[in-house]
Amino acid sequence: MVSIKLILKCHGVYEWLLVRFSAIWMLSYIIYISVFMISVNTLSYDKWYDFFSKNTTKIFSIIALFSVLSHTWIGMRHILEDYITLPVLRQLGIWITGCILFVYLLFGMIIIWSI
């Protein structure tokens, strides 16, 4: 029987793939924003507002936010696991990082969907 600890621990190939896919998604989001900026003659508040009020841009932005946060979570957790030797400080750092990223997620979702 597979224990719950093994299910919740996602190391190795899964994390490697998640980091690569999130990086590809972030690059595609940067290209998406860049194409918009290049295609518009003059950027104004109204054009930015119209661009970010589209549902496709909102969904794309939400997925990009998830990608950035998952990329950050995996990277920070590995840095903390590799370089902090005291288990209490390591767990505290992981917990603080998780809380900060969760707050970023909440505020990001509120900001993106309030447009």
Question: Is the pLDDT score of 83 beyond 70?
Answer: yes
Q: What is the pLDDT of residues 14-42, one digit of tens each?
A: 888 999 999 999 999 999 999 999 999 88
101 band by pLDDT with thresholds 50, 70 and 90:
very high
Total number of domains constituting the chain: 1
Task: Give this prediction's pTM.
Answer: 0.84
DSSP state of 86: S
Q: What is the dihedral of CA 102, 99, 81, 77, to 10 degrees?
A: 10
Range of 69's domain? Answer: 4-113
CATH number at residue 26: 1.20.1300.10
Q: Identify the pLDDT of residue 115.
A: 80
Percent of the chain with pLDDT over 70: 90
